[in-house]
Amino acid sequence: MTLSQPDVFIYNAAIITPQITLQKGWIHLVNGLIHTIGTEQEYDIYSSKLGADTEKIDAHGSWVLPGFIDMHVHGGYGHDFMDADAEGIDAITRFHGMNGTTTMLATTVTAAKEELDHVLQRIGSYRNQTMPYAQLLGVHLEGPFINANWCGAQNPAFIVPPQPDWLSDWTQRFPGLIRMQTLAPETAGALEYIEALVEHGIIAALGHTDANYEQVNSAIEHGLSQAVHTYNAMRGLHHREPGAVGAIMSNPAILGEVIADGHHVHPTAIRLLVQAKGPDGVLLITDAMSAAGLGNGEYELGGLAVIVRDGVARLKEGNSLAGSTLTMIDAFRFVVHQVGVSVEHASLMASGNQARQLGIDQITGSLQPGLQADVLLVNSEFELERVWIGGRSIQ
């Protein structure tokens, strides 16, 4: 199936580029790529040469942003990556695509190896076809090599120590598919496993961990470079033992994810994280589960019963937070309105940092000529007006 990519010319927009925000600027999308970005002064000459079939959009001062990249998302719109077939994956990627995510990692939960094998097989097969909505870059394995004392909404029945033979099997059978794995760095064999992840080009992330400050910094020296949902499911900051949170905040070699929904982390704690690490050290994620996009009710995450009330997902037993119902545009809006982050810095935290971390910053993640046309048109209230993925409008 070939998906059409008509030329698009957006003008009278506030365009965020890596260097500057262009007021009353314009951007031209051609053949799925960003062709040219220009200023108000260049508009008349350039626009006069556009073809008659080019779609021309007056942005009326709205923002043009790079598409969001979500490195930690379990599902949405009634489907979960753990068991979704191709139709279910379409539903997940369409829902999140309609909410600004143009690239994502399909995220698993702690499960038996056989079940994880099946997820990798299904995601690998899906990626071999044309993906009509948000693009699945690969898989984020969240677990199963985590700490049972901080399992949160992960099923403790399947938690095991790091298994190097599993990694060897996965990388041989599914080369390049696993892009990130979350583990507890204090578990037996974790440091060697982190080194093996790095050797295979896989991001090593800590999460669901009881690691102290020294253990996290030691893991960073072995190649650990990301923290999943900072503050949640990890040892917190204490003035005599800085804990995992203290290590994340103080060590520039690790990027910190944050779930900016106002339920997982207080806005002031997000502000402190951004102040400590700088906007280039923070990653907005959704950690969205299957309930995202739907209403209150009963759902499931990794075989565990979940109840959603007022948009907050919690385990039916134990009441732990169980992922979220967040979207990336909601997270973006939250950090601007509630945390006080600038639009430019919020864009970096939602797109540019992820692209750099994943090694795809020469393909997507910012608005520059030659890059993939993953583009968002967002109004002054930070509501999405249009989404283009590879130059294709999905709205």
CB-CB contact of 78 with 91 (8 Å): yes
Q: How far apart are CA 9 and CA 74, in angstroms?
A: 34
> Mapping DSSP to helix (H, G, I), strand (E, B) and coil, where does residue 329 land?
helix
| Rounded (to 5) percent helix, strand, coil in the chain | 30, 30, 40
Residues 6+ apart with CB under 8 A from 375: 10, 27, 29, 34, 64, 65, 66, 67, 367, 387, 388
Residue 3: DSSP 8-state? P
**79-86 CB contacts, 8 Å cutoff, 24+ apart:** 79/290, 80/289, 80/290, 80/300, 80/301, 81/106, 81/107, 81/108, 81/119, 81/123, 82/108, 82/109, 82/111, 82/115, 82/119, 82/302, 84/122, 85/122, 86/122, 86/125, 86/126, 86/129
| Number of alpha helices (DSSP H) and beta strands (DSSP E) in the chain | 11, 21
**Active site amino acids:** 287
CA torsion through residues 326, 59, 66, 53, sign: positive
Cα distance from N-terminal residue to C-terminal residue, the chain: 19
Single-letter code of the amino acid located at 260: A
C-alpha torsion sign, points 176, 70, 123, 2: negative
CA-nearest of 170, 167, 220, 214 to 191 is 220
